[in-house]
Amino acid sequence: MKIIVTGAAGFIGSAFTRLAVQGGLAPVCIDALSYAGDMERLEAVKGKFFFHQADISDRARLTEIFSAEKPQAIVHFAAETHVDRSILEPASFIKANVIGTENLLELALQHGIEKFIHISTDEVYGELSAGEEKFREANCLLPNSPYSASKASADMFVRAFMKTYGLPVTTIRPSNNYGPWQYPEKLIPLVIAKAIRGENIPMYGKGENIRTWLFVEDCAEAVMRVLETGRQGETYNIGSNEEKMNRDVIAAILRLLGKGEELITFVPDRPGHDFRYAVDTSKIEKETGWRPRVRFDEGIERTVEWYRMKSDWLFKKEAEARAFTGQLRKRFEEMKSGKGFNFSA
């Protein structure tokens, strides 16, 4: 099967692309190569895939690619994903996550795509309290950030194209991914970078927010399993069933690096910070046999060691992100003090 992988040079998309190549496929990869895309992630499988640099919001460019490649399936990872960035730049998330997804859906319909795998997020469900049951696929969507709202909108377009046009779609909602090659805007690589250098580590609020942490290779395997055996029209949650407070994740990283928790600096919480995400994975386990293989203790140790070995890459990317994260904290502090919010600032 000839497949298009969007966002193939991104964190999760590259893990899937490497897995696909190892399985004998030669995917057609599309990526805009924005700040979060990096072809170095695909160096291990260089020459074994086809690549087009393209923004999925560019309909004309996508039309050229589809006409030339004539794909049979699409695995759609491409998205703006950073929640903090979405608070400053919500319009860019609409462009990438909503308009880009709708472009792909129309082209998939025109070209008779046999399978359309849409990668969503558990954040579309909203948040849970400490004692609430985990999200199931039938839960209502109650997104709280511009990022999750854009992904929920994309989910609804995917559903609409299935119901209206009969497009063979399947949606996957992963929990928080971590592992090698993640861009250091995200919690785990950012903490590793700062801890290695002995810098203060910002922690939102009291660090009590809870996430389910899924090793990226497990996520890629789940997506592949759904591509192979998932049912058309269905939605599948994927996660590790290991819930961790942010402060415990940071503490684990500091222990592995031989650093003390005195590096932690508490900063004002971000607006609309969801308290807890947790997904029920019984559906994908029952229907496809997939289960996560990497426990958090093993995964975080492998991740920390990888970044230690790739510190040049880590520090380069963290330096790129630093100006933005500094601006972000300043703006959050202004909001906290009642100064309002100016998107053009």
Of the candidates 68, 60, 164, the one whose C-alpha atom is nearest the C-alpha of residue 111 is 68
The token duo for 332 is: 């959050």
Q: Which residues are catalytic?
A: 122-123, 147
The predicted pLDDT at position 342 comes to: 66
CA distance 267 to 278: 25
Structural domains of the chain, ranges and CATH numbers in brackets: 3-324 (3.40.50.720)
Lateral strand order in the sheet of 169-174:
50-53, 28-31, 3-6, 73-76, 115-119, 169-174, 235-238
CA distance 157 to 151: 10
The predicted pLDDT at position 312 comes to: 96
Q: pLDDT-based confidence at 345, cuts 50/70/90?
A: low
User: How remote is the C-alpha of 177 from its chain's centroid?
Assistant: 7
In the predicted model, what is the mean pLDDT of the chain? 94
pTM (2 decimals)? Answer: 0.94
Half-sphere exposure of 292 (CA within 13 A, CB side): 24
pLDDT digits 0-9 by tens, 306-320 = 999 999 999 999 998
pLDDT digits 0-9 by tens, 196-248 = 999 999 898 899 999 999 999 999 999 999 999 999 999 999 999 999 999 99
CA distance 195 to 199: 6
Place of tokens 């599309």: 30
pLDDT digits 0-9 by tens, 97-155 = 999 999 999 999 999 999 999 999 999 999 999 989 999 999 999 999 999 999 999 99
